[in-house]
Amino acid sequence: MKKFLTFGVLAILTSGFIFAQTSSLQEPNPENVGADSAMASLREVSLDKFEREGSWKVHISSDDGTIAARLFEGSPSMKEPLAEDEGKEDEDKMVYGVRVDFFKRGKNSFTIKSARPIPIEGTTKTISLWVCGRNQSHDMYVLVQDYFGSNFELYLGNLGFSGWKKLTCVVPPSPDGEHGIVQSSAYYGDKPGLKVLGFRIDCNPMQARGSYYMYLDDLRAVTDLYDMENHDEDDMLDNW
């Protein structure tokens, strides 16, 4: 009886350990990303400030509704400029507005895509975006393309809030350099490892009616630039 009791306790402890490991892999903490290596040079960089007409395109199925987008003057008051942007606030005065007019309730979705993929230097750890969601509980995803050209979607968050909010998602590291989101490889030369393609909004079927407005600003990423900043001047680049 003692043997069975001891074996049961060990089994529970082991399964708890495995679950903890699995949970931590599925739900990475942005604060811990990059903390497991001393060889890191994390930096927050700007990807797009939504200041130019024609840089983004919107789409919704013609069966679900109509969609339009344009720039507006404005900015989240809580947004803090990057160090290199201090004193240049007058150059960042626009936000990107999107309006959707739904034909009917249903499992509708629409996309906001960059006219050109946005490359991110280094190894991307997190992607963030300021969003004004108008308190509708739709789900927002960022669409990315990895080193091998594979497309992925990362959950940014639910839009059920009023006013501006900064949404952030973690880019999970590849477990072996071949599966998941791969950002670099020693076998295939040197080029930007991650590109942002755009965003997808999956609408709450009960709230996908009438007109819906949302606004975007200041797309950023936290990236590890250690390899780039510590590249020897006399070392060749593997990009030919």
**DSSP assignment of 34-98:** TTT-SS--EEEEEEE-S-STTSEEEEE-TTTEEEEEEEEE---TTPPPPGGGTT-GGG--EEEEE
Residue 228 in this model has a pLDDT that exceeds 90: no
- How many angstroms separate the CA atoms of 167 and 132, rounded? 10
Amino acid at 67: I
pLDDT the model gives residue 78? 92
Q: Report the percent of the chain where pLDDT is more than 90.
A: 62
Residue 135 in this model has a pLDDT that exceeds 80: yes
DSSP structural state of residue 187: T
**CB contact set of 93 (below 8 Å; sequence gap of 6+):** 51, 73, 74, 75
Q: Please give the C-alpha separations between residue 206 and each of 60, 104, 118, 138, in angstroms, as whole numbers.
A: 18, 10, 33, 10
230 or 95, which is more confident: 95
Q: What is the pTM of this model?
A: 0.80
pLDDT the model gives residue 188? 72
Q: What is the mean pLDDT of residues 87-99?
A: 87
pLDDT the model gives residue 16? 47
In this predicted model, what pLDDT tens digit does every residue of 188-211 receive, in sequence order? Answer: 766 668 999 999 999 999 999 999
Phi and psi, residue 161, nearest 5°: -145, 160
* 110's tokens: 């629409």
Residue 1 in this model has a pLDDT that exceeds 80: no
Q: What is the mean pLDDT of residues 110-138?
A: 95
Closest CA to 52 of 86, 110, 93: 93
Residue 142 in this model has a pLDDT that exceeds 80: yes
Residue 8 in this model has a pLDDT that exceeds 60: no
pLDDT the model gives residue 146? 95
Rg of the chain over Cα atoms, rounded to whole angstroms, equals 21
Instruction: Please classify residue 50 by burial: count the beta carbons closer than 10 Å to its beta carbon, then call 0-12 exposed, 13-18 middle and 19+ buried.
Output: buried
In this predicted model, what pLDDT tens digit does every residue of 94-105 receive, in sequence order? Answer: 999 999 999 999
Residue 213 in this model has a pLDDT that exceeds 80: yes
pLDDT the model gives residue 186? 75
In this predicted model, what pLDDT tens digit does every residue of 18-46 receive, in sequence order? Answer: 434 433 344 555 555 544 444 568 999 99
